[in-house]
Amino acid sequence: MVVMIGTNAFTIFFNLLAVLNPLAVAAIYTSMIDGKTPAQLKAITIQFTIATAIIMLVSLWFGQAFLNIFGLNVPSFECAGGAILIIVGIRLILPKSNKDDMDSASGNVGNSIAIVPLAIPLCAGPGVIAILIATGAEYPTFSQHLLLTGLSVLLAIICGIILYFAPRIARKLGSTGMKTISRVMGLIITAIGFNILSKGFLGLFPGLH
């Protein structure tokens, strides 16, 4: 079994990387960092990386037990994650109010975006959680979980590195370019949110198919 997961490690790695989609998360991130200082951006990147790793590891080691204890399932996570994405997307599309601008300028928003929505549900969302729970069940031994732990940590670091360099690209685009990206990404996020939400509903109510 240990040898088996070794031969499938690359497949598991790239499947998770595709679902994590760090490039898309980085694009969304650049549309949410207006007014933040370099120190705040560094803190966000670090917190995002740690949060993503923790979410993945908790899903791997305790995901199924957590769902069983609370009587939850993956479709319920998809519904909750989709709803959060819809709210985030709409807020990016609509113009900011004066109060929002003041909060951003004063730093009241802080580093909150590092965990929600960047780490979850944008990066380590329901899809990643579901894959890790299923993979953990397929490879249940301690040594196999250790290998999967290494893959998860490596993936979180890769996502963090991509996020770290994203603002440099954003600065080259300028204010107008960033505002345009913000609106477009807001629309995309909203669409993704509805897609995840509908998938969750179909999972909860299979008779709707």
Asked if the structure places residue 181 within a domain, the reply is: yes
Q: Is 137 exposed, middle or buried (0-12, 13-18, 19+ CB in 10 A)?
A: exposed
Of 121, 158, 146, 143, which is closest to residue 14 (Cα–Cα)?
A: 158
Per-residue pLDDT at 173: 72
Percent with pLDDT over 70 in the chain: 87
Query: How many structural domains does the chain have?
Result: 1
Q: Which domain holds residue 189?
A: 36-202
| Length of the chain (residues) | 209
Asked if the structure places residue 11 within a domain, the reply is: no
Residues of the chain with pLDDT under 70: 1-7, 95-111, 175, 178
Phi, psi of 181 (to 5 degrees): -60, -40
Q: Is 171 exposed, middle or buried (0-12, 13-18, 19+ CB in 10 A)?
A: exposed
Asked if the structure places residue 62 within a domain, the reply is: yes
Asked if the structure places residue 1 within a domain, the reply is: no
Asked if the structure places residue 91 within a domain, the reply is: yes
Per-residue pLDDT at 104: 45
CB 1 within 8 A of CB 139: yes
Asked if the structure places residue 132 within a domain, the reply is: yes
Per-residue pLDDT at 109: 46
How many other CB atoms sit within 10 Å of the CB of residue 181?
17
Per-residue pLDDT at 102: 38
Asked if the structure places residue 93 within a domain, the reply is: yes
Asked if the structure places residue 169 within a domain, the reply is: yes
Q: Give pLDDT tens digits for 138-157.
A: 898 999 999 999 999 999 99
Which residue's entry shows tokens 């549900």? 121
Per-residue pLDDT at 169: 77
Global pTM reads 0.74
Per-residue pLDDT at 106: 38
Per-residue pLDDT at 190: 87
Q: In the numeric block, which tokens belong to residue 190?
A: 């909203």
Per-residue pLDDT at 7: 66
